[in-house]
Structure 1
Amino acid sequence: MDFEVRRDRRPQGPRKLARERAAYLQLVNEGYSYKEACQIVGVNPRTGKRWRNGRNPVGKHKGAPPITAAEPPLLPSSPRPPSRYLHEEDRIVIADRRREGASVRDIARELERSPSTISRELRRNAHPASGEYRPHAAQRRCDERRPRPKASKIAVNSELRRFVQHHLDLCWSPEQISNALKKRFPDRPEMHVVHETIYQALYIQARGGLRREVAAALRTGRAMRKPHRQADRRRSRAVKDMVNISQRPAEVADRAVPGHWEGDLIIGKDGKSVIGTLVERATRYVMLLHLPATHDAVSVRDALVHTVGTLPAHLVMSLTWDQGSEMAAHRSFTIATNIPVYFCDPASPWQRGSNENTNGLLRQYFPKGTDLSVHDRDRLEAVAAELNSRPRKTLGWETPAERLAKLLTSSE
């Protein structure tokens, strides 16, 4: 195909890409993949995605509806380049060769396709009553199954939509909701969606019919996705007599033995208020330290001693922390509790991965830039209890509270 719209790839400014949009839509309707259509028209795949699904208004940028078939066709019919999809010409060859008695592998070799592609085509698009393969009817069936853009599964199923909305209101993640749907409705595939479908329903205009305010229930609180960037590196702080994480027993690293904890602080507005966090590595059980007045080394030590004292001794065997000055009194903590403290390397948050992940979850309850001193001890216990009652993928969809209860029962 000799269609070339954009030889000049400089930014287009306010000029609308009307011809490109119409050409892109025509190519998609003719059976090209999204990626192929973008390559032919000369646009970024993200641009094609915005054309298909529309765009929400963000800041100064206006929203836009999805493109429709009303756009006039701009491309003449012409022989297609190789595509991952079968075209009508391919289906005519399949029908002719089947009447001649050719095998599936012979047809696949002639069309330069996988034998499974031909086998699947014959199975899916043959006449439902007679089983005869008719190429033009097969093409119609294929076209009917592939309208673009497709209606979202969540948008057309009110029961599914209510289930998703309810659990988002309970602060469940889309992946947790997806797994809960499979467990709750094992024999109803119309109630099964992957977590990406839920994200699409929240982030993309007119894709899912979910209330826009439900997006606030996501842990990030964002209405748009944010690309991952490398985190700012933190300067190490000197803590005397530190025991490095490299000297931590191997049983801690593989999470085979419960009782090893990771800790950190989450910081409030202007660095004036904090909440301490503790996470057990094997069960992901969370405990929060109440630090309403100050977070100096003595206050953190006393809060840690009080908190770990509520647990059986065999469930508190070590503590891993970063090199923050709040742990300057770690030696006196170890003397008081007989619990060794290990310190991570500078700028290495992955060495306390469970704790870092949990701190991200807690930000849904304690947003950045807010005063954390307003939360009393009862509020912290309620948040920890809610977090410990959420099913976790890494625990086989058990909750941290269930895992900890099993440990406590087995030790009795």
Structure 2
Amino acid sequence: MTFEIREDRQPQGPRKLRAEREEYFRLVQQGYSSKEASRLVGVHPRTGREWRNGRTDPKRFRAPARPERAPSCASGGSRYLREDERIHIADRLHEKATVRAIAAELGRSPSTVSREIRRNRHPENGRYRPHAAQARADARRPRPKTGKIASNLELRDFIQDRLDRKWSPEQICQALRDTFPERPEMHVVHETVYQALYVQGRGELRRELVAALRTGRARRKPRRQAACQQPRFAIPMVMISERPAEADDRAVPGRWEGDLIIGKDGASAIGTLVERATRYVMLLHLPEGRTAEHVRDALVTTVQTLPTHLVRSLTWDQGAEMAAHGSFTLATDIPVYFCDPASPWQRGSNENTNGLLRQYFPKGTDLTAHTSEHLAAVAAELNGRPRKTLGWETPAERLHKLLAA
């Protein structure tokens, strides 16, 4: 060993025993015990323990002008806390420093320091030991890890059963919390389910279950700019800015949003209507085409099946299929409001519902093959799904309450 114990132990300023401290940590990293490392560098074993675990009695020492730091450790990178940073945290905690002060000294976020203390302190006495914390952090870091779904057969079977029934991952996760409220090992977030399906090689869920997702994709789709809208007609329209303000907060039922989902080569279509307050869905059967007259007649037939107080207005985009909106309003006394160009979010409920319906009516297929009875069955199944935005009630339940009232 090249280190030599100094014979002159006169006060060395604010960084006391700096060389000894650096040599002590080097020896500990090589596997020496704290007592043996203290003996080799010529300090009392209690001093070595205080270097390793933090100062136990801050009153015995005068606070240094600048916080001390242990020598840099090769374990981890700048993204992760290093061992010398954990030693600094332990020292400052024993000096009763605040988390924000410690974070400022380390150049870290206060949440990083707070989370480090919470996750890696002793589970029984609550004290923070830096070397034990470093060992726990190193043990958690290796990848890959066995996922929660793969290690729990009951959880995996529950998720697979709901995916077979075309439930979304978020609906499944809420059902897990409702079914097993006292079993946290059965609780996952929806991102965990997506990861089990998307990430290859994990083998947590059957690969073919991807087809049960709304999108049917086996990987994430990158976000892109909104596509251009269909050509718009230039006839007098009442814009959405003139729609009553009560429609915006969804407090009053009867405000509907509508659109078409288009089939193969634009030759077929199905009309969709969604009530903003309850998210209740109704489908329009258009077997003869999607001209303005066909859409108008289907709308008139459909809205006349509802109570008058549940049909107050209709919001549509500027598609050519609504060219006959004037005659529709004359026949039903229901005003039609049009969205601004290239603004699909102004009919957000309808756009979301159209995405759900694509699970039943995929793009590029002939939609004339679906009968009105089949459309009614699809709408009933969609209205029977629990919705997060409704407090996990179904649209059918929410509409039934309105009708009963």
- What's the TM-score, normalizing by structure 1? 0.73
Alpha-carbon distance between aligned partners in 1 of 2:329 and 2:116, rounded to the nearest angstrom? 68
Residues 231 and 320, structure 2, Cα contact 8 Å, conserved in 1: no
Q: Which residue of 1 aligns with 2:269?
A: 274
Helix, strand or coil: the match of 1:287?
strand
Count of matched residue positions in the alignment of Structure 1 and Structure 2: 332
Helix, strand or coil: the match of 1:168?
helix
2:226 counterpart letter in structure 1? A
Q: Which residue of 1 aligns with 2:141?
A: 146
Alpha-carbon distance between aligned partners in 1 of 2:118 and 2:346, rounded to the nearest angstrom? 51
Q: Which residue of 1 aligns with 2:16?
A: none
Residue 383 (1) aligns with residue 391 (2): no
Deviation at 1:115, TM superposition (A): 7.4
Quote the RMSD (CA, aligned, Å).
2.7
Residues 319 and 342, structure 1, Cα contact 8 Å, conserved in 2: yes
Deviation at 1:87, TM superposition (A): 3.0
Q: Which residue of 2 aligns with 1:103?
A: 96
- What's the TM-score, normalizing by structure 2? 0.74
Residue 329 (1) aligns with residue 324 (2): yes
Alpha-carbon distance between aligned partners in 1 of 2:323 and 2:123, rounded to the nearest angstrom? 75
Deviation at 1:360, TM superposition (A): 1.0
What are structure 1's unaligned runs of at least 5 residues?
A: 1-76
1:89 counterpart letter in structure 2? D
2:312 to 317, 320, 338: 317
Cα 1:120/1:295, change in 2 over 3 Å: closer
Where in structure 2 are the equivalents of 1:357-396 lying within 5 Å? 357-396=352-391
Alpha-carbon distance between aligned partners in 1 of 2:225 and 2:304, rounded to the nearest angstrom? 37
- Map Cα deviations across residues 132-173 of structure 1 (whole Å, 9 max, x no partner): 765444432333333322221111111111111111122221
1:233 to 228, 244, 247: 228
Cα 1:195/1:127, change in 2 over 3 Å: closer
Where in structure 2 are the equivalents of 1:65-84 lying within 5 Å? 83=78
Residues 275 and 290, structure 1, Cα contact 8 Å, conserved in 2: yes
Q: Which residue of 2 aligns with 1:188?
A: 183
Residue 219 (1) aligns with residue 218 (2): no
Residue 169 (1) aligns with residue 164 (2): yes
Alpha-carbon distance between aligned partners in 1 of 2:299 and 2:186, rounded to the nearest angstrom? 45
Deviation at 1:277, TM superposition (A): 0.4
Residue 284 (1) aligns with residue 279 (2): yes
Where in structure 2 are the equivalents of 1:118-137 lying within 5 Å? 124-125=119-120, 134-137=129-132
1:259 counterpart letter in structure 2? G
Cα 1:303/1:142, change in 2 over 3 Å: same
Q: Which residue of 2 aligns with 1:295?
A: 290
2:251 to 237, 249, 256: 256
Cα 1:254/1:144, change in 2 over 3 Å: same
2:348 to 350, 353, 365: 353
What are structure 2's unaligned runs of at least 5 residues?
A: 1-71
- Map Cα deviations across residues 108-138 of structure 1 (whole Å, 9 max, x no partner): 3765667776676566545556767654444
Cα 1:111/1:247, change in 2 over 3 Å: closer
Alpha-carbon distance between aligned partners in 2 of 1:129 and 1:247, rounded to the nearest angstrom? 63
Larger displacement relative to structure 2 (83-92 or 106-115): 106-115
Question: How high is the sequence identity, in percent, across the aligned residues?
Answer: 72
Alpha-carbon distance between aligned partners in 2 of 1:204 and 1:144, rounded to the nearest angstrom? 23
Cα 1:196/1:112, change in 2 over 3 Å: same
Helix, strand or coil: the match of 1:370?
coil
